[in-house]
């Protein structure tokens, strides 16, 4: 079937995305390759239109975010000081309703906890709980660690099938209603986008190749930890699924950190999960900004393995991810610059484990074991020199 000029324009724009340099703000939680499959589904013009609209909006959001990123790079960073954070501090959390428009932030919800709108109630709960998690566990003062307002908008656009951090706030669509549910449904989706904001202010990881895959993985890592905290799950009791209710059908998830590549199988639209779980299967693709959503499965698996191995060493002390590996990942991500390789990050986790827990500690051993299992070599492998970033030609 011949594509319309609108479809051709969107697909052409997206095809060019693989040739440009990434950025810290990054894409939505639903990868482009999944939306493409949705757009290519025959016999359902409504779903096809929703997918194409989402792809087109995602492209526009990237361009609009250019200005936010420019301002971000002009800012003077304020290093965080844990001694300045008191237990009484709480972030100002604001929820808005876009009412199926694309105007941000939308209409402010005065009492979100009392709303009869499930999307509003859910996202407010995730916002409060996620902020509490970062504050209580990592002593973090909001997304920028300097007390910024935490702003979230629900009901973005009509059946928008994605969620994203736009450089200053989080935005959540309602999904297509047939294959993709509302993006307010799972706490880890919210925490994933929250962490993209944290990464922007702390590290500004480039959204390309291995650095981009680390960007995605770090959001998944802290997304799963926030979910485990909210649901009071241990390393053992967690199912390690990201977006476990997002794909309609009851037997699909968006990603599996325990077994990347198995989150969904034989899906009527999306087919099989393409995530990789080891460097042996590394996908050196130009699509997906160099495979940022596909290859993020490798560091995701490493975090899972390090957490479970550490639990094996000391079940009582390390029953919860944030007591050991979570602390290491939180610190290591701030020390690798903006364009690290997997090897750079892996080596930094070992270094941090030694500093925080001691040389030859169980935490160090667990980190070494995990990276070895996914075939990421430790060492001082130099990162490739970054290309000049074209901030107005993103993705």
Q: Give the residue numbers marked as catalytic.
A: 193, 293
**Residue 395: which of 7, 97, 22, 8 has the closest Cα?**
22
Q: Which two tokens stand for residue 27?
A: 């894409």
Alpha-carbon distance of 206 to 204, in angstroms, equals 6
Alpha-carbon distance of 230 to 106, in angstroms, equals 28
Alpha-carbon distance of 100 to 172, in angstroms, equals 10
255 bridge partner residues: 242
**Residue 161: which of 290, 278, 27 has the closest Cα?**
27
Alpha-carbon distance of 332 to 313, in angstroms, equals 22
Q: Give the 3-state secondary structure of the chain.
A: CCCCHHHHHHHHHHHHHCCCCCCCCCCCCCCHHHHHHHHCCCCCHHHHHHHHHHHHHHHHHHHHHHHHHHHHHHCCCCCCCHHHCCCCCCCCEEEEECCCCCCCCCEECCCHHHCCCHHHHHHHHHHHHHHHHHHHHHCCCCCCCCCCCEEEEECCCCCCCCEEECCCCEEECCCCCCCECCCCCCHHHHHHHHHHHHHHHHCCCCCCHHHHHHHHHHHHHHHHHHHHHHCCCCCCCCCCEECCCCECCCCCCCEECCCCCCCCCCECCCECCCCCCCHHHCCCCCHHHHHCCCCCHHHHHHHHHHHHHHHHHCCCCCCCHHHCHHHHHHHHHHHCCCCCCHHHHHHHHHHHHHHHHCCCCHHHHHHHHHHHHCCCCCCCCCCCCCCCCCCCCCC
Q: What is the largest CA-CA distance in the chain?
A: 63
């Amino acid at each position: 079937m011949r594509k319309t000029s609108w479809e051709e324009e969107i697909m052409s724009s997206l095809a060019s995305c693989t040739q440009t340099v990434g950025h810290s703000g990054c894409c939505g939680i639903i990868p482009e390759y999944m939306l493409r499959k949705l757009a290519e589904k025959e016999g359902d013009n409504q779903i096809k239109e929703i997918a194409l609209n989402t792809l087109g909006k995602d492209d526009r959001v990237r361009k609009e975010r250019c200005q936010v990123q420019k301002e971000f790079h002009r800012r003077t960073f304020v290093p965080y000081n844990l001694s300045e954070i008191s237990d009484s501090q709480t972030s100002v959390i604001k929820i808005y309703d876009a009412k199926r428009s694309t105007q941000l932030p939308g209409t402010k919800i005065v009492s979100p906890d009392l709303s009869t709108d499930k999307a509003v109630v859910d996202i407010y709960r995730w916002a409060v709980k996620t902020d509490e998690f970062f504050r209580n566990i990592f002593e973090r003062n909001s997304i920028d660690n300097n007390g910024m307002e935490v702003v979230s908008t629900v009901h973005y656009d009509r059946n928008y099938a994605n969620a994203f951090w736009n450089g200053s706030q989080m935005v959540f669509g309602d999904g297509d209603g047939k294959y993709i549910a509302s993006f307010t449904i799972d706490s880890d989706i919210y925490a994933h986008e929250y962490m993209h904001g944290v990464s922007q202010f702390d590290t500004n990881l480039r959204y390309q190749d291995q650095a981009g895959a680390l960007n995605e993985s770090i959001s998944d890592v802290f997304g799963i930890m926030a979910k485990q905290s909210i649901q009071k799950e241990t390393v053992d009791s967690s199912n390690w699924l990201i977006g476990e209710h997002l794909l309609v059908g009851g037997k699909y998830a968006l990603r599996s950190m325990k077994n990347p590549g198995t989150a969904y199988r034989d899906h009527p639209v999306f087919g099989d999960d393409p995530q990789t779980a080891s460097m042996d299967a590394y996908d050196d693709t130009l699509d997906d900004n160099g495979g940022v959503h596909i290859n993020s499965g490798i560091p995701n698996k490493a975090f899972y393995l390090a957490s479970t191995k550490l639990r094996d060493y000391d079940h009582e002390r390390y029953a919860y991810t944030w007591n050991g590996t979570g602390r290491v990942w939180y610190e290591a991500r701030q020390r690798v610059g903006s364009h690290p390789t997997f090897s750079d990050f892996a080596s930094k986790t070992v270094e941090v484990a030694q500093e925080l827990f001691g040389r030859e500690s169980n935490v160090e051993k667990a980190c070494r074991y995990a990276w070895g299992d996914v075939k990421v070599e430790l060492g001082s492998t130099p990162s490739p020199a970054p290309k000049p970033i074209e901030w107005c030609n993103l993705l």
